[in-house]
Amino acid sequence: MLHLRQTVIVEGKYDKARLAAFIDANIITTDGFDIFRDRAKLQMIRALAARDGIVILTDSDHAGFRIRRHIAGAVPPEQVTHVYIPDMPGKERRKPKPGAEGLLGVEGIPDKILLEAFIRAGLDQQEAPLPPAYPVTNADLMELGLSGGENSRALRAALLKALGLPSHMGPKALLRTINALYSREDFFQFVQTLTEQG
């Protein structure tokens, strides 16, 4: 298992699932070209990059490089590590036909080659990140009314807007991002301030 402090950014949910098998890190998706329209997600990526840096891993086709350039252009270069996969002809099992350029995407690349790509980028010498001493938990989100309650969706939407995070983010993604960006104390103080204002 490769442990990374940086947040890893990939294009889609199948890429994310593939990496989660051997990488311990916060992994987020661009949802393909949605990243060009989703200002809140780009703002979140900037915040994650400023805190611990980001790793960009996109497909090796033209579309993947467009997405990579867009994200890399939004944050300072010293906060970005690029991981590149080789051009490998083929198609993913779940797809009926190959992509436009006939190349495998991240989800179709063998684990060994993906791991080698991370090592080539210098991401094999990190110590495992220390988890927050007292992370924000699912129980905390429930206690605050942000998960599992009658009005949770509306409260979560208000919090996401106040934090400058994407409006479609679910409780699990919210929890991972909160713990990547804030200490428990800072988050609770922020929520208290938000509650007092609203």
Give me the residues paired with residue 83 across strands. 57
Instruction: Tell me which of 3.30.920.30, 1.10.3720.10, 3.40.630.30, 3.40.1360.10 is the CATH number of domain 2-120.
Output: 3.40.1360.10
Q: Are 106 and 85 in contact, with CB atoms under 8 Å apart?
A: yes
pLDDT value for 127: 55
Residue 158's pLDDT band (boundaries 50, 70, 90)? Answer: confident
Mean per-residue pLDDT for 24-37? 94
Three-class SS of residue 57? Answer: strand
pLDDT, one tens digit per residue, over 120-155 is 888 876 655 556 678 889 899 888 888 888 888 888
Which of 17-21, 110-114, 134-138, 162-166 shows the lowest per-residue confidence on average (mean pLDDT)?
A: 162-166
pLDDT value for 132: 63
Using the predicted structure, report yes or no on whether residue 168 has a pLDDT greater than 90: no
Mean per-residue pLDDT for 59-85? 94
pLDDT value for 157: 85
**Among the ranges 21-30, 86-95, 147-156, which has the highest mean pLDDT value?**
21-30
Residue 163's CB: how many other CB atoms inside 10 A?
A: 22
Mean per-residue pLDDT for 57-70? 94
Domain boundaries, the chain: 2-120, 138-197
pLDDT, one tens digit per residue, over 32-52 is 999 999 999 999 999 999 999
Helical segments of the chain, H only:
13-20, 39-52, 62-72, 111-120, 138-143, 152-163, 171-181, 184-197
* Alpha-carbon Rg for the chain in angstroms: 18
pTM, 2 dp = 0.77
pLDDT value for 131: 61
CA 137, 142, 143: angle at the middle one, nearest 5? Answer: 95
